[in-house]
Amino acid sequence: MSFSTVTDLFSGDLATVSAEIHNLRAALLTSDVQVTWEEAEGLSPGEIVTRYVAARGDHGMRHWLRSLAIEHDAAQRFGPRLVDELDGIDGVHTLAA
């Protein structure tokens, strides 16, 4: 195996790794932009519930969605509470006093 062949193999592998890193970085930046946009625009109650169900096991995401539900409930003084719906999904039930 000649030196140029080894160099070509190394260069090819490096190019592949570099492309994968570039793609991963782009995906992370895109997801950050998406989350920022959602935080700025807000999610509808239906979207919050749907994402809450889909985020089963992702405690960080569920915490964030629950904080959005709390903000929504604070702005909507009448009607069903979104936090109560999320509690129902989690199986949390409180007895009336």
Quote the percentage of the chain above a pLDDT of 70.
64
How many residues are recorded in the chain? 97
3, two tokens:
């030196």
Single pTM value for the model: 0.54
Q: Is the pLDDT of residue 49 over 80?
A: yes
Range of the structural domain that residue 33 is part of: 1-41
pLDDT at position 62: 92
Could you tell me if 34 and 46 lie in one domain? no
Structural domains in the chain (count)? 2
Mean pLDDT for the chain overall: 76
The reply to whether 47 and 23 lie within a common domain is: no
Same domain, 61 and 47: yes
Q: Cα–Cα distance between 64 and 59 in angstroms, integer? A: 9
